[in-house]
A and B are shown apart, each in its own frame.
Chain A
Amino acid sequence: ETGVTQSPTHLIKTRGQQVTLRCSSQSGHNTVSWYQQALGQGPQFIFQYYREEENGRGNFPPRFSGLQFPNYSSELNVNALELDDSALYLCASSPGTGGINSPLHFGNGTRLTVT
């Protein structure tokens, strides 16, 4: 069973640039969620994708957008990068959209640094 894989592992960008982060979900999982973890904080929900549609969104501006592909892999895109976007971005997959039968399985994350 292949787990959740994310790429790249580390990334350095300049303020104002755009970035795309990628995630392959665990086999058998059809739902992908993205979380942002700032230094010293817990992960914060960005959005979830189910059947290639956004299924829910946290308190993040529209410059954070995503995609899910037919093979359930996903991308997180961030436009007009700001210094505060520096964080660990975590992708998680699950066999359903939420609840007790769908615990999230996280990847190792992408460490984004904005300078």
Chain B
Amino acid sequence: DQQVKQNSPSLSVQEGRISILNCDYTNSMFDYFLWYKKYPAEGPTFLISISSIKDKNEDGRFTVFLNKSAKHLSLHIVPSQPGDSAVYFCAASASSGGSNYKLTFGKGTLLTVNP
């Protein structure tokens, strides 16, 4: 049972436009969400996170939106740059139940930003 789902395996956008990556989750205990970026032959790099007490968190060109009622989050990248081309993973954890040590990841979305 996949608790974190990224339903789009790939996304292609033009440089300068907005990239929107989506993520859905099923576990209502999740209260902390993160996005990681992964280049080939490298480990995932932490990008941005959001706690369930917020509905938006912004860091430069990156903004994460959380819709708890829909169990949905999205990552917006504006403007998109060719260097943003990578696999993006959505991840979640639950602070209660003693399992905040564990991140549950989606399968990832390959973003390609075309010059």
Contacts and interface: CB of A to CB of B under 8 A. Distances in A.
B4 interface: yes
Interface in B58-115: 89, 91, 93, 95, 98-108
Contacts of A40: 107
Nearest to B51: A100
**Residue of B42, B46, B95, B101 with most chain A CB atoms under a 10 A cut-off:** B101
Interface string A16-50: 00000000000000010101000011111100101
Contacts of A105: 46
Given A42-B105, A44-B105, A100-B32, A108 B42 contact: yes
Given A43-B44, A104-B46, A109-B43, A48 B105 contact: no
Nearest to B2: A42
A45 B102 contact: yes
B44 to A, nearest CB: 5
Contacts of B106: 42
Nearest to B33: A100
Given A31-B101, A42-B105, A103-B34, 7 more contacts: A35-B103, A42-B91, A44-B105, A97-B100, A99-B100, A103-B49, A108-B43
Interface of A: 4, 31, 33, 35, 40-45, 48, 50, 55-56, 58, 90, 92, 97-100, 103-109
28 contacts: A4-B43, A33-B101, A35-B105, A40-B107, A41-B107, A42-B6, A42-B91, A42-B105, A43-B44, A43-B103, A43-B105, A45-B103, A50-B101, A56-B98, A56-B101, A90-B44, A92-B43, A98-B93, A98-B102, A99-B95, A100-B32, A100-B49, A103-B49, A104-B46, A104-B103, A106-B36, A108-B43, A109-B43
